[in-house]
Structure 1
Amino acid sequence: MTPAGRVTRRTLLRAAAAGATAATAGCAGGTRSVQVAVVWSSDELDRFREVVAGYPGTVHVVSAGNDIDAFLRARHLAGTSPDVAILPRPGLVTEYAERGWLSPVRPSNEYAVPPGLSDLLMTRGRRYGVWVKAAHKSLIWHLPSVLPETPGTWDELVTLTRTLGALARRGSGPAPLAIGAADGWVLTDWFENVLADLTPDAYDALAGSDADWQGRPVRDALDRLAELWSIDGAFPGGGRRALLTQYEESVIQVVRSRRAVMVFEADFTAEVIGTFRRGPEEPETFPFPSARPGARGPLIVGGDAAVAFADARGGVELVEWLTRAESFQPWLRVGGYLSPNTTIPLGDYVDPVRRRLAEEMRAPGTLRFDLSDQLPGPFTGSDGLGIWRIMQDFFADVTDGVPAAEAVRRATGQLAAAARSADGGR
């Protein structure tokens, strides 16, 4: 994320071009179209365009790229804000609402989401966004032929990693874990799953303004990660190589080059697998393991929310339409889509994996939203910034032989300082 208030010349030019395109499209035939800015690209962008093709009006979809915040700030400065945006973080919804950029929205009566998600899009008692896409972020992927028996607890995962790591060091097999540590969000997803499993209440508290980033729950979660990540032979090429490995490459290391046995990440990993896997074997998943034998593991979800900009003609109506159960049927029929809307029948999912994940998301009392996406300002993380960079520093320490206690002390100090700087805790 570009730091708040800083918009680059490149972003301004791109946003201005998109604004000009929108104006041209809107004036065509004397009918103003509704413009939607999204973070999606490639297949996701194509699928969403198929969705809005069913809207009873003209919809022009613009891909803003990964840094949609900078894109939207530039469009606001130019006076060409889109009618609707799909935002990847609830913190942006809150910030834009407080700045007066958004119109309140009202979902249809066919819209319901799991407890804990809806309130994230409320500001001063009014709703300014609706969830339109979800990501299940508590999965570990593997090939059954390579790993026929999966670990059921955290301790079993650590033991398996030690065993496979020893074999990998002798050249007798692949490394146990692939990890895209070059993408800091991958590391925060690991941290969030461990923390939510160990101390769910502390997880919830860290999203608040009085969060204690140097408290026992954070230290315990980092200790557990250090226990796993410091295992010799855990990653292909070692920790330093892992810090240069991006998320997509980590998936390829499991399903194509077979340099690793397991990779942890969300349901959208299936799209990378579909592009790069070798051979007909279908990868399978198992839940992120709990530290408590017999206990259900954590369930972390991310999501994309639709908002309507202030005074945007047609924007509020489109947002409401997106919450109807039938609106995303084109994407559901193709596959690759997980809905946060619990009114959608599970039988509508053609993809059996996502059907199971949608069912898991509806179980009461287990779901928590991605913590880093709730953090304020630059603390939320982006390349080289915030919690992403801090977790990369921690990963570098524990994989480079720094004692766990020292690595945890450094990381919690950095987290606390970053939280104070962003008014997000102590």
Structure 2
Amino acid sequence: MRPDLTRRGALALVAGSAAAGLTGCATSPVRIAVPWSGWELARFRQVMRGFPGDPVVFSAGDSMDALLKNPVARSARPDVAFIPRLGTLGEAASGLRTMPSAIPGPSSAGGATAWRRLLTHGGQVKGVWFKAAHKSLLWFRDAVPPPFGANPAEPSSWKDWLAYCRTAPRPVLSIGAADGWVLTDWFENVLLGIDPVTYRRLLPAADGTKPRWDGYAVTETLRRLQELWEIPDLLPGGGRRALLTSFHDSILDVFHYGHARAVAAADFAYPVISRYGSRMPAPCRFPATNSAAVPVLVAGDAAVALTEAGESVVRWLAGDHGRVAVRDAWVREGGFISLDSRVTGYPVILGPFTGQVTGENVEFDLSDQLTGRLSGGNGRGLWRILTRFFGDVTGVTSTADPVGAAQKAMTEAAG
């Protein structure tokens, strides 16, 4: 099976039902629900081979919310869940076990204070970070072209990036727009380059204040994305084909089939590139819209325990045995960044970027933190709005004012 880095769990319902059938057995193995599929799922199962008791690991895909929050699914709930969306963690916090403040590992490592705060609800830490992702990267099929090549770890300007996309041989860019989170990553990276303060103000406020999606920074973000995405022949097959292209296939577009020259993708694209690519990739930081001091867009998967048995799994993963298992089974293959500074062995090509996710200048994925009508996976929330916007600006659908329509939809959903 080729690696599939999308987060759709096609077997989620089957696996969930199978796990539910184990609940009546006194000697039931520990059940672990993960958001990963394909290659990532295989890597994690290899990690868990070192844990005693033969745990059952199954993919919940995009069904993690329902698995944790739906009363009907209570009997199928796992002992451990890996949550990629912080909105889910906050909504399910009352059913999660509290992690001891002294638990070792990623939650207390290096410069991860802000990361730990993201898992704290009501003064209690409800999880431990298992893996992080660097989502502010561009990958070129050939050597990083000037001016990006001067220092690939620092972002070049948006102006330079736009000029490159307008002059490089066509097609230039592959976008896996079938996965809505790919489009939100674009939106978030551009917005961070324009105004990180506005980015933070779009998050749900503790006092219930409604975020303002109708301001200048959001308008300018959409305008710049339109300016890029409507460049003629930018995408192989145009917007219509991009809307049918998954994240995984956008990587193959560039590095296996050679249909495009570059792709914006997180560090977890590397295992696909290294397995299917015909040449060494060239990564660099996502271009800065206004300034070089642009926060790194990050995401992560947090391990949470729903039972005492699940807590033992989380402790094991955060301890020495788990750290060694992760290093040997996953880190060396790429597609995994730990917040634990003691984890080593990353692919050399990712060396300049792995440390950036634990720095002070990071911002967590906005769409993973949203709640209400702006939250959700494909076909819902911000993902849906940006998918429609992408179709409008690439000529797949027709809206007189794509920027205005998208911003209106965001404002209405937020309000």
Query: Which TM-score band (shorter chain)?
Result: 0.7 to 0.9
**Separation of aligned partners in 1, 2:65 and 2:398:** 38
Q: What is residue 393 of structure 1 aligned with on the other side?
A: 388
Q: TM-score, normalised by structure 1?
A: 0.83
Match of 1:204, SS state, is helix
CA–CA separation in structure 1 for the residues paired with 2:76 and 2:398: 52
Note if 1:154 corresponds to 2:151. Answer: no
- The answer to whether residue 307 in structure 2 is matched with residue 306 in structure 1 is no
Aligned to 1:373, what secondary structure does the other structure show? coil
Is 1:63 matched up with 2:55?
Answer: no
Measured in 2, the distance between the counterparts of 1:48 and 1:125 equals: 30
- Is the contact between residue 135 and residue 296 of structure 2 (CA under 8 Å) also seen in structure 1? yes
Contact in 2 for aligned 1:136/1:267 (Cα 8 Å): yes
Judged with a 3 Å threshold, the aligned counterparts in structure 2 of structure 1 residues 176 and 11 are, in CA distance, closer, same or farther, namely: closer
Partner of 1:407: 402
Deviation at 1:258, TM superposition (A): 1.1
**Aligned counterparts, 1:42-191, within 5 A:** 42-73=38-69, 77-97=73-93, 100-106=94-100, 108-111=103-106, 112=108, 114-144=112-142, 148-151=145-148, 152-164=156-168, 173-191=169-187
1:103-140 Cα offsets, whole Å, 9 max, x none, are 11126234425243222211111111111011110111
Partners of 1:60 and 1:182 in 2: how far apart? 30
Deviation, 1:22, is 5.6
- Which deviations, in whole Å up to 9, do the C-alpha atoms of 1:337-388 show, x marking residues without a partner? 433423325xx12412343322122332x11100000001452232211111
Matched letter for residue 36 of structure 1: I
**Aligned residues of 1:51 and 1:328 also touching (Cα < 8 A):** no
2:151 counterpart residue number? none
Does the Cα contact within 8 Å between 1:180 and 1:245 map onto a contact in 2?
yes
- Unaligned 5+ residue runs, structure 2? 1-10, 149-155
Contact 1:230 1:401 in 2 (8 A): no
> Matched residues in 1 for 2:29 and 2:398: separation?
58
Name the counterpart of 2:365: 370
Residues 12 and 63, structure 2, Cα contact 8 Å, conserved in 1: no
**Percentage identity across aligned positions?**
37
SS in 2 for 1:341: coil
DSSP-derived class of the 1:61 partner: strand
8 A Cα contact 1:178 1:260, kept in partner: yes
Alpha-carbon shift at residue 211 of structure 1 (Å): 1.0
Letter of the structure 1 residue corresponding to residue 272 of structure 2: V
Tell me the distance in 1 between the aligned counterparts of 2:12 and 2:172. Answer: 40
1:338–1:358 contact (8 Å) kept in structure 2? no
In 2, the alpha carbon distance for the partners of 1:298 and 1:133 equals: 19
How many residues are matched?
A: 387
Letter in 2 for 1:207: L
Structure 2 equivalent of residue 384 of structure 1: 379
Q: Report the alpha carbon displacement of residue 244 of structure 1 after superposing the two structures with TM.
A: 1.9
CA 1:282–1:358 in 2, change beyond 3 Å: closer, same or farther? same
Residue 74 of structure 1 and its aligned partner are, at CA, apart by 5.8
Counterpart pick for 1:196 among 189, 192, 207: 192
* Residues 138-189 of structure 1, C-alpha deviations (whole Å, 9 max, x = no match): 11111225x543542110110111112xxxxxxxx43111111121111100
Q: Which runs of 5+ in 1 are unaligned?
A: 1-9, 165-172, 421-426
Instruction: Return the offset for 1:402.
Output: 9.0
Distance (Å, rounded) in 1 between the aligned partners of 2:105 and 2:304: 18
Shift in Å, 1:326: 4.8
Aligned to 2:341: 343
CA contact (8 A) 1:139 1:287 kept: yes
Counterpart amino acid of 1:358?
T
Give yes or no for the alignment of 1:319 onto 2:314: yes
Q: Distance in 2 between matches of 1:57 and 1:292?
A: 53
From the superposition, tell whether residues 238 and 232 of structure 1 become closer, same or farther in structure 2 (CA, over 3 Å): same
SS in 1 for 2:185: helix
- Secondary structure of 1:231's aligned partner: coil
- Residues 15 and 75, structure 1, Cα contact 8 Å, conserved in 2: no
**CA offsets, 1:188-219, max 9 Å, x none?**
00000011111111111111242101111111
Contact 1:133 1:337 in 2 (8 A): no
**Any conservation in 1 of the 2:45–2:57 contact (CA below 8 Å)?**
yes
Match of 1:424 in 2: none
TM-score, normalised to structure 2, is: 0.85
Query: Aligned residue for 1:19?
Result: 20
Whole-Å separation in 2 of the counterparts to 1:337 and 1:176: 24
How far is 1:407 from its partner?
Answer: 1.5
Give the greater-gyration-radius structure (CA): 1
User: For 1:252 and 1:53, how far apart are their aligned partners in 2?
Assistant: 30
